[in-house]
Amino acid sequence: MATNRLQRELESRTQSERPKQWSQPELLPEPDKQTGYAYRWIRISTLNTSDPRNLSAKLREGWEPVRIEEQPKLQLLADPNSRFKDNIEIGGLLLCKTPLEFVDQRNKHYSDQADAQMKAVENTLMRQNDPRMPLFNEGKVTIGSFGKGG
C-alpha cells in the first residue's frame, strides 16, 4: 500500500498562522547614523522639475551629499536614473549630512533672530501703550503682589 501523505516533520502550523499586522511603509528610509553628523533629505526636484536653487542653498549652508558606500542598505532604494550617481536620491530628495556643530550654530542663529523679532514687536506694542488704558503684555509677570501672606 502506497500512501501519498507528507511526513510529520514537513507539516507545520506556520502555514496556517495569521499574517502579522500590516503597517504603512515609510516614505523615506532612515539612514544609519554616523556619530557627529546630522542627516536630512533635501529637495532637488518637484514633479520632475529640478530645483537647483534649493540644493545650492543647502550646499552653501554646509550640507554635503551622502555617498552610497556610506549607506549600503539604501543602495537598492536609490533612484537608478538619478543625476547624482554616487549619492542616494529617492523621489526627488537627496540624502545629505552635516556636522552637528553646524546644526547647533544654525539653530542658535534662527533662535536669536526670532528673539530679536519678538523684542521688536514688544517694543512697538509698548510704544503705543497709554497709562489710562494699559495694554496687556503676556511677557511680564509679577509675583507676590496680591494678598498679605499670613
CA dist., res. 91 & res. 48, Å (int): 9
The answer for residues whose C-beta is within 8 angstroms of residue 102's C-beta and 6 or more apart is 38, 61, 62
Residues 91 and 104 in one domain: no
* pLDDT tens by residue, 35-46: 899 999 999 888
| Predicted local confidence at residue 130, as pLDDT | 72
Residues 59 and 104 in one domain: no
| Predicted local confidence at residue 99, as pLDDT | 93
Residues 49 and 92 in one domain: yes
Residues 43 and 90 in one domain: yes
CA dist., res. 38 & res. 36, Å (int): 7
| Predicted local confidence at residue 111, as pLDDT | 94
Whether residue 93 lies inside any domain: the answer is yes
In contact, 114 and 53? CB cutoff 8 Å: no
Residues 84 and 116 in one domain: no
Whether residue 89 lies inside any domain: the answer is yes
Question: In terms of residue numbers, what domain contains 75?
Answer: 37-98
In contact, 43 and 93? CB cutoff 8 Å: yes
* pLDDT tens by residue, 54-72: 999 999 999 999 988 888 7
Residues 49 and 90 in one domain: yes
Torsion 130-131-132-134 (CA) sign: positive
Q: What share of the chain is helix, strand, coil (3-state, %, to 5)?
A: 30, 15, 50
Residues 45 and 80 in one domain: yes
| Predicted local confidence at residue 145, as pLDDT | 59
Pairing of strands 89-90, 64-65: unpaired
Instruction: Identify the helix (H) or strand (E) that includes residue 93.
Output: strand 93-99
Residues in the chain, pLDDT under 50: none
Backbone φ, ψ for residue 17 (5° rounding)? -70, 150
CA dist., res. 60 & res. 10, Å (int): 61
Q: How many domains does the chain have?
A: 2
Whether residue 144 lies inside any domain: the answer is no
Residues 50 and 84 in one domain: yes
The grid cell for 147 is 494678598
Residues 90 and 80 in one domain: yes
Residues 55 and 43 in one domain: yes
Residues 87 and 110 in one domain: no
- Residue 64 pairs in a beta bridge with 97
Residues 50 and 77 in one domain: yes
